[in-house]
Amino acid sequence: MQPTFVLVHGAFANSFSFAPLQAELGLLGHRSVAVDLPGHGFAATFTRAYQAPQDPAGLATAPGAIKGVTLADNAAHLIGILERAKRNGPVILLSHSRGGVTATAAANARPDLIDRIVYVSAWCPVALDVGDYYAEPEMATVDVASLALAIAGNPAELGLLRTNFRTADPDALAAFKAAFLADGTDDEFLTFLNTFQPDENLDVGTSNDRAQAATWGRIPKTYVRLADDTSLPLALQDRLIREGDELTPDNPYDVRTLPGSHLKWLTDPAPAARVLGELATLLS
């Protein structure tokens, strides 16, 4: 039967970012569904303080719907979608960036629902928790301070992470572009930035949510490296692949590589769609 691609977005993103990729997949004859994790998509909070002219004080203090959302909530939501998709045949679960944490948690819990798991420059923690990887040499080139220039409010007080993606600060915009879409035009970058939502939850899991050999480890898996990614550097992607292979040496990653930055594969999705189409044929 024809597989269904289930697509899981990263931090501050939503199902909307997958629309160009879904169009390419559809034109190649593939079925897909893009997920909005809890507090994302039309469930996101866009306060009036975020509109123009902005109210910085209001933006820093306004409550957000994503407060209190946990990784367990994300995984449970995704599992519900996987259960529905599985009724129609094989399922290929694809995640990007921080979405890999949710995909891994779902795979740990319900490997029976997934026929192949695909990470596109995505987090799949094995040896460390996600936050601890940031202190490792592979992440030394990531300028976390510059990416924090647009943080709004105190995450501890808000109970969420809020970023002002509508900032006009040239330094913050330059940092975002360098991290996410350095190989895109300014128009592409600003268009993508305006699909982001300001709020993200704070829970990226614990050691209990790392990939587990007995469950996650029995699912056929692919890692699509993004060769020019600077927010999740190639060195870190390769480390995650290596650690996954060490965890399940009898079921190593099928590794593919695409050129481009963290978001280029979504603004120019035809190459990625072709790779995914090849993976679909492996289930036939």
> For helices 270-281 and 19-27, what crossing angle results, to 10°?
50
3-state helix, strand, coil in the chain (%, to 5): 45, 15, 40
At 76-96, the pLDDT tens digits run 999 999 999 999 999 999 999
Q: HEC states along 72-131?
A: HHHHHHHHHHHHHHHCCCCEEEEEEECHHHHHHHHHHHCHHHCCEEEEEEECCCCCCCHH
Each domain of the chain, given as residue ranges in start order, spans 4-282
Average pLDDT, integer, range 124-144 = 96
At 233-277, the pLDDT tens digits run 999 999 999 999 999 999 999 999 999 999 999 999 999 999 999
Q: What is the pLDDT of residue 121?
A: 98
Q: What is the pLDDT of residue 1?
A: 82
Given its phi and psi angles, is residue 60 left (phi above 0), alpha (psi -120 to 50 degrees) or beta?
Answer: alpha
Read off the pLDDT band of 119 (50, 70, 90): very high
Q: Is 82 within 8 Å of 93 (Cβ atoms)?
A: yes
CATH match of 4-282 with 3.60.20.10: no
Q: Is 10 within 8 Å of 258 (Cβ atoms)?
A: no
At 199-219, the pLDDT tens digits run 999 999 999 999 999 999 999
Q: Is 243 within 8 Å of 210 (Cβ atoms)?
A: no
At 141-171, the pLDDT tens digits run 999 999 999 999 999 999 999 999 999 999 9
